[in-house]
Amino acid sequence: MRPEILNPLFASVEGFKGVGARYAKLLSNLCGGLRVVDMLWHLPASLIDRTYAVPLKVAETGRIWTGKIKITEHIVPPTRKQPYRVLAEAEDGTELTLNFFKWYPDSLKRSLPQGAFRAVSGKLEIFNGRLQMNHPDYIVSPDVLENLKAVEPVYPLCAGISNKLLTHLSAQALERVPNLPEWLDPHFQAEQNFPSFAEALKKAHRPQKSADLWPDSAPRRRLAYDELLAGQLALAIARERVKKQAGRVLAGDGHLRRALLENLGFELTGAQQRVLKEIATDMAAPERMQRLLQGDVGSGKTVVAFMSMLNAVECGTQAALMAPTEILASQHFETLSAWAKPLGVNVALLTGSVKGKARAALLADLAQGKINVLVGTHALFTEAVTFQDLSFVVIDEQHRFGVNQRLGLSDKGYKTDILVMTATPIPRTLVLTQYGDMEYSKIDELPKGRLPVDTRVVPLSKTDEVVAGLKRKIEKGCQAYWVCPLVEETEKTDLAAAVARYESLQQIFGEGEVGLVHGKMKDKEKDAVMERFKNGDIKLLVATTVIEVGVNVPKATVMIIEHAEHFGLAQLHQLRGRIKRGYEASTCILLYGYPLSQTSRERLNIMKQSEDGFLIAEKDLELRGGGEILGTRQSGFDNFRLAQLPQHKDLLFAAHKDAELVLNMDKNLQTPRGQALRILLYLFDRDTTVRTYKAG
């Protein structure tokens, strides 16, 4: 139940003055809802200053001027197409003409009778040497002049909703804000100079100067913090909840893992060892594990995942690895089976294409526990697949599945530990907002001795030279990717460009040597072409970004990215990851076209200078702000109403710490601050968390 004190804020504004049924829909779209809180979260974007009220004689044109005038004469034009002019005189005797391009003579005569005094406010202009004001924003009686000389908020608008309506609504909404108990830590509040919640709202809605609109103003920071804290607290509660769920103790004797390490032919990096320990500790604990494993392309996540799976197998249980596409699943299958064979561990592959008898046999083996490790696509969990005793699941490239599927997985009834593995470097800000309900491990070190990719930034006008260089490489036995951009808006023309490039490269390199994959192809066709590229039948693969994730072709050491300026940084990084072989030299050529924006230029330079995925991801976040990194623009990473990232990054980290501390000291939110925080959770629609919290 929502605390009663919040009721006025959750009422609908439909009954408010000025909000007819006509506006309800528009308003709801604009403000994300029709509740009072939705109006409160809709903050002004700029302001109009009507305090400029100097004598008209010295007033600057181009500014909003507010003052008293006396109406001297009406000049009615001969036709409605010409402006209606009203001559007036300011208090200092300066003449001012009011122009009306849309006019009704009767109403103008009524509102501006000759000889009367009026207060007006509007933009001053000069035309033919005369001071004028076109359609003043306000024409009121002179006794309200003082009220007029104010600063007005300007809200983000949409067609059909006026600023006046929003100002009016926000005023009514602000009146309903109750005095809520303070949920901030008093020291933090003092240190940050944060006003109370109600005060912050008032100040944010009634800016007095443009600095009040900036994200770093104290009221806006306070509100952002409130929102972030509500989110972080909700996630921390969810994290606690997962921990409380009974899991299984998975602590194998290590014999398979030791045997694997002996056969591997390389030493684990320090980061791999540390992360393995973190995972093993979680698996050995009686609670359920939900852990995110991050590591840049080539950092060696697969071996970490497999070692952890072996832990489950050592315990006599089964493990599964879920990949987002068939081709990735079979790639994992190949890697894992090669490692597993000498250990006597049985790995199987289950995808949509395993059919009929083979499928039936596989499912039977799985149910009887003859298969220790199952690799597959999401088919693993969507169909009637029965394990004998599944205890551990690894999900690769999780963002392709979506956060909800991850949660759905845990509902399958298995008490499985879950490890989510992603090669997409996720900046910490996003980890906190997107994966805040999970524990988090990071492989931040690449195996020793890896060679950097030679990355070059080249204008498209030099394509011929690039092709010539490519020809030499291919003659030496290299394989190469040629990536063409696909911008959703003009998919058709983009595709046409990729096809054209494919055809022209065929002419140069020979028809059989060049292949094409793009997103419009069926998975089967795509996989077939990829397979031929992998086997070396095709030397040059023209592709749109479908090759982005995970595909591994050892001989492909050259990548050309056409119109690299159209790609996001994270995307470029992922693409380049495909040719990062480590022990062989590889080359990435970023071809760019003109005009090149400042941001694009910066992006390409960063690519040239760095291969550190985390650094690149942080820069990407700075340059474009979010969602793209996860490849899920629609998933609404950025569904904050008040907080802005990265501007409020420091507050996010602070809120994260704050939430942890609160739960450590006041697990059930019982103290006065805890009670106030419950209100905060409701205020920001995190009440589902509060409810499950109470229940569990």
**Footprint of ligand ADP (CB under 6 A):** 266-269, 272, 295, 297-303, 423, 447
- Contact partner at residue 454 from Mg ion, ligand ADP, none, CB < 5 to 8 Å by partner kind: none
Instruction: State which residue, 232 or 308, has the beta carbon closest to ligand ADP.
Output: 308
Instruction: State which residue, 90 or 297, has the beta carbon closest to ligand ADP.
Output: 297
- Nearest approach, Cβ of 469 to Mg ion (angstroms)? 29
Instruction: State which residue, 306 or 684, has the beta carbon closest to Mg ion.
Output: 306
- Nearest approach, Cβ of 291 to Mg ion (angstroms)? 17
- Nearest approach, Cβ of 602 to Mg ion (angstroms)? 29
Contact of 399 with 631, CB cutoff 8 Å? yes
Contact of 41 with 156, CB cutoff 8 Å? no
- Contact partner at residue 455 from Mg ion, ligand ADP, none, CB < 5 to 8 Å by partner kind: none
- Contact partner at residue 232 from ligand ADP, Mg ion, none, CB < 5 to 8 Å by partner kind: none
Whose CA is closest to 323, among 378, 366, 373? 378
- Contact partner at residue 299 from ligand ADP, Mg ion, none, CB < 5 to 8 Å by partner kind: ligand ADP
- Contact partner at residue 272 from Mg ion, ligand ADP, none, CB < 5 to 8 Å by partner kind: ligand ADP
Instruction: State which residue, 3 or 298, has the beta carbon closest to ligand ADP.
Output: 298
Q: Which residue is nearest to ligand ADP (CB)?
A: 300
Largest CA-CA distance found in the chain, in angstroms, rounded: 103
Burial status of residue 615 (CB atoms within 10 A of its CB: 0-12, 13-18, 19 or more): middle
- Nearest approach, Cβ of 267 to ligand ADP (angstroms)? 6
Whose CA is closest to 260, among 278, 247, 272, 250? 272
Residues that bind Mg ion (CB under 5 A): 302
Instruction: State which residue, 153 or 550, has the beta carbon closest to ligand ADP.
Output: 550
- Nearest approach, Cβ of 536 to ligand ADP (angstroms)? 18
* Residue 124 to residue 67: CA distance in whole angstroms: 11
What's the alpha-carbon Rg for the chain, to the nearest Å?
32
Residue with tokens 């990949």: 323
- Contact partner at residue 13 from ligand ADP, Mg ion, none, CB < 5 to 8 Å by partner kind: none
* Residue 245 to residue 288: CA distance in whole angstroms: 6
Instruction: State which residue, 295 or 324, has the beta carbon closest to ligand ADP.
Output: 295
Residues 6+ apart with CB under 8 A from 12: 34, 35, 36
Instruction: State which residue, 94 or 335, has the beta carbon closest to Mg ion.
Output: 335
Instruction: State which residue, 271 or 543, has the beta carbon closest to ligand ADP.
Output: 271
Coil, strand, or helix at residue 311? helix
- Nearest approach, Cβ of 477 to ligand ADP (angstroms)? 20
- Contact partner at residue 303 from ligand ADP, Mg ion, none, CB < 5 to 8 Å by partner kind: ligand ADP
Instruction: State which residue, 27 or 292, has the beta carbon closest to ligand ADP.
Output: 292
Helix%, strand%, coil% for the chain, nearest 5 = 50, 20, 35
- Nearest approach, Cβ of 371 to Mg ion (angstroms)? 22
- Where would I find the beta strands (DSSP E) of 367-452? 373-376, 390-396, 417-422, 439-443
Residues 6+ apart with CB under 8 A from 241: 692, 693, 696
Compute the C-alpha angle 644/690/419, nearest 5°: 70
**Rounded to the nearest 10 degrees, how much is the dihedral formed by the CA atoms of 202, 208, 210, 215?**
-20
- Nearest approach, Cβ of 500 to ligand ADP (angstroms)? 33
Q: Which residue is nearest to Mg ion (CB)?
A: 302
Instruction: State which residue, 299 or 317, has the beta carbon closest to ligand ADP.
Output: 299
- Nearest approach, Cβ of 295 to ligand ADP (angstroms)? 5
Instruction: State which residue, 272 or 308, has the beta carbon closest to ligand ADP.
Output: 272
Whose CA is closest to 459, among 271, 610, 313, 596? 596
Instruction: State which residue, 217 or 302, has the beta carbon closest to Mg ion.
Output: 302
* Residue 498 to residue 673: CA distance in whole angstroms: 59
Instruction: State which residue, 469 or 582, has the beta carbon closest to Mg ion.
Output: 582
- Nearest approach, Cβ of 261 to ligand ADP (angstroms)? 10
- The token duo for 479 is 């394989």
- Contact partner at residue 297 from ligand ADP, Mg ion, none, CB < 5 to 8 Å by partner kind: ligand ADP
Dihedral class, residue 274 (left if φ above 0, else alpha if ψ from -120 to 50, else beta): alpha
* Residue 226 to residue 228: CA distance in whole angstroms: 6
- Contact partner at residue 587 from ligand ADP, Mg ion, none, CB < 5 to 8 Å by partner kind: none
* Residue 404 to residue 416: CA distance in whole angstroms: 17
- Nearest approach, Cβ of 440 to ligand ADP (angstroms)? 16
- Nearest approach, Cβ of 447 to ligand ADP (angstroms)? 3
H or E segment to which residue 514 belongs: strand 514-517
Residues 6+ apart with CB under 8 A from 23: 160, 161, 165
Contact of 452 with 607, CB cutoff 8 Å? no
Please enumerate, as own/partner, the contacts of 264-267 that have beta carbons within 8 Å and a separation of 24 or more.
264/303, 264/339, 266/447
Length of the chain equals 696
- Nearest approach, Cβ of 397 to Mg ion (angstroms)? 8
